[in-house]
Structure 1
Amino acid sequence: MTFVTKLSFASGDHDVLAETVQDLKSTLERKGAECKGPHATPAETVRVPLYKQLRAGDEFSPWNYDVYKRSMEIHGADDIAREVVGRDFPDSIHVEVEVDQKKPLGHRRD
């Protein structure tokens, strides 16, 4: 059975995100792991209301910022995927990891 490790990255700092993901991709290729991505999704603009008091009513102009996202998949190479997931990423990047188990075609469940 093969494992697929799915990595999702989100950050408000576009440059740090791009550099981190590209460095990760280079590392995976150098180690011989099969990697798909990074895939980019359009930036999401987040709007945060700012109130002058603790109750709703009078507001300052809202604070708007963009969140950039990238995703990658590592197929097989469980030891390399484990090493990558254990890596220290910059604090400005939110990382989510999902591991799926893929069974070969024709595999029967007993």
Structure 2
Amino acid sequence: MTKVEMIKAVAARVNEKYLAQYDEGNKPKPITKAQVELILDSYVEMVCDELPALDEKDKLPLPGLGGFKKVKVGERSGVANGVAWEKPEHYKLVFKPLPAFKEV
């Protein structure tokens, strides 16, 4: 699924649920694909901005799916094609799904 396809699918589902809350005469304008894209891009920016300040115990939730957390990765070294290499200790972002998704 491409980003454009995902945005279309999310916009369709949101509008289906959002507009179902209102009577025929009082329905607001549907949510646009541009608004959905703005929301998704804003969430990604928020995750990237919050990552440096995040403790290893904390998670950034993605409601209904799981959460992101920061994991410490130790120093690594080795030899590849006769050339020695080293990778310093660093952090990586890991997504942990909710238990309901582990069987999918």
| TM-score normalised to structure 2 length | 0.26
Bigger Rg, which one: 2
| TM-score normalised to structure 1 length | 0.25
- Structure of greater relative contact order (alpha carbons < 8 Å, 6+ residues apart): 1
Return the structure number with greater strand share: 1
Return the structure number with greater helix share: 2
